[in-house]
Amino acid sequence: MFDMLRWLPERASTYAGEIDTLFYIIYYITGFVFLLVTVLLIWFLIQFRYKPGRPAVYSHGNTALELVWTATPAAVFIILFLISQSTWAKVKQFAPISDTEVRLIAKQFAWEFHYPGPDGKFDTEDDFQQDGELHVPVNKPVRLYMQGTDVIHSFFVPVLRLKQDVLPGREILAWFEATKTGRFEIPCAELCGPGHSGMKGWLTVHSAEDYAAWLQEQQS
Amino acid sequence: MSESSAVAHAEHHREGFVRHYLFSLDHKMIGRQFLFSGLAMMVIGGLLAMMVRWQLGYPEQPMPFTGLFSEEFWEGGSWFAQGAPYGVITSEFYNSLFTMHATIMIFFVVMPIMVGAFGNFLIPIGIGAGDMAFPTLNMLSFWTSVPAMILMVLSFFVPGGAAGGGWTSYAPLAAVPDYAGVAGPWGVNLWLISLFILGFSSLMGSINYITTIINMRAPGMTWFRLPLFIWSLFIVAILLLLALPVLTSGLAMMFFDRVFGTHFFLPEGGGEPLLWQHIFWFFGHPEVYILVLPAMGVTSEILPVFSRKPIFGYHAMVFSMIAIAFLSWVVWGHHMFQSGMNPQLGTAFTLTTMMIAIPSAIKTFNWLGTLWGGSIRFTTPMLFAVGFVFLFTIGGLSGIFMGSMAVDIFIHDTYYIVAHIHYVVAGIIFGIFAAIYYWFPKMFGRMMSEGLGKLHFFLTFVFFNMTFFPMHFLGVGGHMRRIYNPNQYEFLEGFAGMNEFITVSALLLGASQIFFGINFIWSLFWGRRAERNPWQANTLEWDAPSPPPHGNFEVTPTVYRGPYEYSVPEVQEDYLPQSRYLEVAAGGGH
């Protein structure tokens, strides 16, 4: 009826496809149930509308049917849980080792990205900072160490299918591996005050050579 | 107790205006008070939503009616001139609008009408009692909610305007006045105080409901002869008793953080922002079921009456509500998948969330089973009840998407969530309308207009879906919730037309409610006089006169069977009231 998922943004990370696949699986299952319920509802309303001389069926239910519509959803839900788990663990629990590490500082109302510089260590002389601009190489895992300063913000890159709240008082690790070069928006997805709307940055995904050149330029 | 209180009530029947209309101890008058205050707040909550939609459909353009105001008005510095100078909503005011819309609709519309109005009105009559167990406590429960309501509305007029941290008021944004970026701290302070007071109102109500249902059922009214609406209110009262104090404590902690310099939720003093979210959602998820269970109860009441058929699987309906109530305590983490809590918790909360969907599925299929083989009358209450089933199906199914923690990564905090919560919570308003159209004859002794009622249903149903269904598409496109101006994002450029469509639909949805207002007020004074049992229903409230006098029943009824014995082959009529005695007990009953 409605192809709802055609509104999905493009996919530009290694796990975006997996998340969308789950999205589609749930979409087809729920879409089927929705159609089933709607068709039955409309059919019953028409078929069993009041007609003079035709009494209603005197019945208190049917235990066998009830068992069917208890067990079937239960089985479907357990399967959905199981197939969701591996994708969830991949995105949120097991960040791969990477030599592209960036520290994100979130504040009202901007993203600040800190790079460790040539020595690969944060909080040293050669660190450099980018306001609102995250530059990463394509096809390489990136580790983001997120720190909040004031209120809660949420780092959201629709094309990566990544969203992670950034909390003051702790560091949260997120990761992604971009699969497409280009420039993508990074909105804040958690209400963070009057400047929440419009709090955004840009993710630039470079080819390997471009990224090396960009890094060179920043560090010189 | 029930008989003696009925007698006692009958004795001091004559009372003054103040005692009768304001500080009444009669559960029916208190129910009407909750209904009127809830409907008044619904108008405010609805107007706030219209303004939110205006800003999203026509960002930073002056609101239509504001051209009528004079130059002096805009220069005057009133709360409205500051929030929307020359009719253009500011981002601070926008945040207040959606915060107050949600707060008012949840705490001052759905809860007072469903639990306060219909709970009060129907629990004693539905179980065959003369009044609540504690009439004075009942009166206090309403009058405690009034200052809460006044403070919440007054908060628009303090410097800096009403609270703007979202109805969830996450810390530290809501816990530190400076982060809000507005002229004064009193918006959020009043928000906290108001809900703190309201917590006591609902505590008084819930204790009363539980006591009344346990102790004051009429002879023969066993647990499994209780109408499902009474069951839903009993379960809701227990949830309220246990959940609301958790919120109340959290509100107090946040107030201390704001005013007295504690650091419960502030990391700079060793506090933890996530603690607020855990407290809030530990209350907040049972709260969702506090809102929806009575609507499910209303639907289970109305479908059998107008299908002229017993409810399908009465026991399954009761046990699924009990299951929902238990599971509602262990699913709160699904609001926090992306919050930064340990991701392993996400796994656990997804499993429990999937489990709580099972009883909801059972209920939906049982409603379908009730319709099957019926002799269906399309009255206005029936249309709204069937509408609720349809909307709840969509809202329930869309919940499975964010129930999966992996899919939630993308749709969390987007319009997909907004679509989902409105299909569920705004869908509950269909339950409220069904209840009003159904019990209006009993509450006020007059019938509402069926013609206007059906018109109201069809317009509301169409515009509701035109408003909220496209929000799923926005969410799939990544459109964040709570943003002031979608035009600030390149990836949302393609959605401007859809936002405008939604806004026009929402304005029409709001305008359609005028037909309800006309019908309600007109019928209150000039509606056709209602007989005792206009819908030929079985439950005890239809044994009492319309409207019931003080003490409700002329004689305390005796209950012989379950509430849904329709079209019993052994009797002539197609209904068999719970209190009618038959020589040979007909049917299975309960």
CB contact under 8 A, A69 and B95: no
Q: Which residue of B has its CA nearest to A27?
A: B401
Contacts of A9 in chain B (CB under 8 A): 477-478, 491
Q: Which residue of B has its CA nearest to A3?
A: B473
pLDDT for position A2 = 58
Do A126 and A190 share a domain, yes or no?
A: yes
Under DSSP, the state recorded for B559 is: -
Q: Which two tokens stand for residue B231?
A: 């069951």
Closest CA relative to residue B447, chosen from B362, B529, B339, B508 = B529
Give the mean model confidence (pLDDT) for residues A177-203: 97
Do A142 and A199 share a domain, yes or no?
A: yes
CB contact under 8 A, A197 and B485: yes
CB contact under 8 A, B347 and A37: no
Contacts of B373 in chain A (CB under 8 A): 48, 56-57, 59
pLDDT for position B33 = 96
Distance, C-alpha B356 to centroid of its chain = 20
Do A112 and A169 share a domain, yes or no?
A: yes
Quick check: is B577 in a domain?
no
pLDDT for position B16 = 81
pLDDT for position B3 = 45
Do A120 and A214 share a domain, yes or no?
A: yes
CB contact, 8 Å: B373 with chain A?
A: yes
Closest CA relative to residue B549, chosen from B124, B59, B214 = B124
Q: Is the pLDDT of residue A170 over 90?
A: yes
Measure the CA–CA gap between B416 and B291, rounded to whole angstroms: 20
Residue ranges for chain B with pLDDT beneath 50: 1-8, 10-11, 586-589
Domain end, chosen from A93, A128, A149, is at: A93
Closest Cα in chain B, distance from residue A219 (Å): 30
CB contact, 8 Å: B536 with chain A?
A: no
Quick check: is B549 in a domain?
no
Quick check: is B48 in a domain?
yes
pLDDT for position B6 = 47
CB contact under 8 A, A57 and B374: yes
Do A115 and A156 share a domain, yes or no?
A: yes
pLDDT for position B164 = 95
Closest Cα in chain A, distance from residue B146 (Å): 30
Percent share of chain A, pLDDT over 70: 99
Q: Is the pLDDT of residue A208 over 50?
A: yes
CATH code, domain carrying A63: 1.10.287.90
Contact between A117 and A160 under an 8 Å Cβ cutoff? The reply is no
CB contact under 8 A, B373 and A48: yes
Percent share of chain A, pLDDT over 90: 93
Quick check: is B45 in a domain?
yes
pLDDT for position B260 = 96
Closest CA relative to residue B383, chosen from B431, B340, B338 = B431
Measure the CA–CA gap between A181 and B107, rounded to whole angstroms: 48
CB contact under 8 A, B182 and A165: no
CB contact under 8 A, A60 and B477: no
Q: Which residue of B has its CA nearest to A171?
A: B340
CB contact, 8 Å: B378 with chain A?
A: yes
Quick check: is B563 in a domain?
no
Quick check: is B450 in a domain?
yes
Contacts of B574 in chain A (CB under 8 A): 55-56
Measure the CA–CA gap between A168 and B270, rounded to whole angstroms: 11
Do A122 and A49 share a domain, yes or no?
A: no
- The overall average pLDDT reported for chain A is 94
CB contact under 8 A, B406 and A84: yes
CB contact under 8 A, B413 and A190: yes
- Residue B575: CB atoms within 10 Å: 20
The pairs formed by A116-121 with CB atoms below 8 angstroms and a separation of 24 or more are A117/A219, A118/A219
CB contact under 8 A, A50 and B375: yes
Closest Cα in chain B, distance from residue A111 (Å): 15
Q: At what angle do helices B427-444 and B273-307 cross, to 10 degrees?
A: 50
Measure the CA–CA gap between A4 and A30, rounded to whole angstroms: 12
Measure the CA–CA gap between B416 and B552, rounded to whole angstroms: 46
Quick check: is B558 in a domain?
no
Residue B575, helix vs strand vs coil: strand
CATH code, domain carrying B142: 1.20.210.10
Domain count, chain B: 1
What would the 3-class secondary structure string for A130-181 be? EECEEEEECCCEEEEEEEECCCCEEEEEHHHCEEEEECECCEEEEEEEECCC
Residue B374 CA: distances (Å) to CA of A42, B189, B495, B535, B587: 13, 53, 44, 16, 17
Q: Which residue of B has its CA nearest to A109?
A: B179
Domain count, chain A: 2
What would the 3-class secondary structure string for B492-544 be? HHHHHHHHHHHHHHHHHHHHHHHHHHHHHHHHHHHCCECCCCCCCCCCHHHHC
Q: Which two tokens stand for residue B67?
A: 């051209």
Domain end, chosen from A59, A93, A127, is at: A93
Do A212 and A177 share a domain, yes or no?
A: yes
Do A117 and A201 share a domain, yes or no?
A: yes
Under DSSP, the state recorded for B123 is: H
Q: Which residue of B has its CA nearest to A147?
A: B340
**What is the per-residue pLDDT across A13-69, written as a single tens digit (0 to 9) for each?**
999 999 999 999 999 999 999 999 999 999 999 999 999 989 999 999 999 999 999
Residue with tokens 């009441």: B301
Which structural domain, as residue segments, surrounds residue A33? Answer: 4-93
CA angle B244, B248, B251 (to 5 degrees): 140
CB contact under 8 A, A61 and B405: no
> Which amino acid appears at position A11 of this protein?
R
Torsion sign, CA atoms B123, B127, B131, B133:
negative
Comparing CB atoms, the residue among A27, A50, A166 nearest residue B377 is: A50
Residues in chain B: 590
pLDDT for position B183 = 87
Closest Cα in chain B, distance from residue A68 (Å): 10
Residue with tokens 């699913």: B331
Q: Which two tokens stand for residue B264?
A: 């419960």
Strands A110-115 and A141-148: unpaired
Please provide the DSSP assignment of chain A as one string. Answer: ---GGGGPPPP-BTTHHHHHHHHHHHHHHHHHHHHHHHHHHHHHHHHTB--TT-PPP-----HHHHHHHHHHHHHHHHHHHHHHHHHHIIIII-PPP-SEEEEEEEETTEEEEEE-TTTT-SSSTT-EEEESEEEEETTSEEEEEEEESSS-EEEEEGGGTEEEEE-BTSEEEEEEEB-S-EEEEEEB-S--STT-TT-EEEEEEEPHHHHHHHHHHHH-
Torsion sign, CA atoms B139, B144, B147, B152:
negative
Contacts of B350 in chain A (CB under 8 A): 81, 84-85, 88
Do A106 and A76 share a domain, yes or no?
A: no
Which structural domain, as residue segments, surrounds residue B158? Answer: 2-543
Do A213 and A109 share a domain, yes or no?
A: yes
**What is the per-residue pLDDT across A117-151, written as a single tens digit (0 to 9) for each?**
999 899 999 999 999 999 999 999 999 999 999 99
CB contact under 8 A, B310 and A60: yes
Closest CA relative to residue A180, chosen from A204, A156, A216 = A204
pLDDT for position B584 = 63
CB contact, 8 Å: B386 with chain A?
A: yes
Contacts of A164 in chain B (CB under 8 A): 338, 340
pLDDT for position A220 = 74
Q: Which residue of A has its CA nearest to B402?
A: A23
Termini Cα distance of chain B: 25
Q: Is the pLDDT of residue A104 over 70?
A: yes
Over its C-alpha atoms, chain B yields an Rg (Å, rounded) of: 24
CB contact under 8 A, A19 and B410: yes
CATH code, domain carrying A168: 2.60.40.420
Residue to test with chain B: of A163, A172, A202, most B Cβ within 10 A: A163
Quick check: is B135 in a domain?
yes
Closest Cα in chain B, distance from residue A135 (Å): 19
Contact between B235 and B359 under an 8 Å Cβ cutoff? The reply is no
Identify any residues that bridge with A186 across adjacent strands, giving them in sequence order: A201
CB contact, 8 Å: B316 with chain A?
A: yes
Q: Which two tokens stand for residue A184?
A: 């993508």
Which residues neighbour B491 within 8 Å (Cβ) at sequence distance 6 or greater? A9, A158, A184, A185, B477, B478
- Predicted interface score ipTM higher than 0.90: yes
Contact between B165 and B180 under an 8 Å Cβ cutoff? The reply is yes
Closest Cα in chain B, distance from residue A132 (Å): 14
Do A193 and A115 share a domain, yes or no?
A: yes
Domain end, chosen from A39, A72, A93, is at: A93
B375 backbone dihedrals φ, ψ, rounded to 5°: -130, 85
Chain B, 541 to 570: residues with Cβ < 8 Å from chain A are 566-569
Over its C-alpha atoms, chain A yields an Rg (Å, rounded) of: 25
- Residue A42: CB atoms within 10 Å: 12
Rounded-to-10 torsion of CA B435, B436, B440, B444: 130
Contacts of A165 in chain B (CB under 8 A): 338-340
Do A133 and A199 share a domain, yes or no?
A: yes
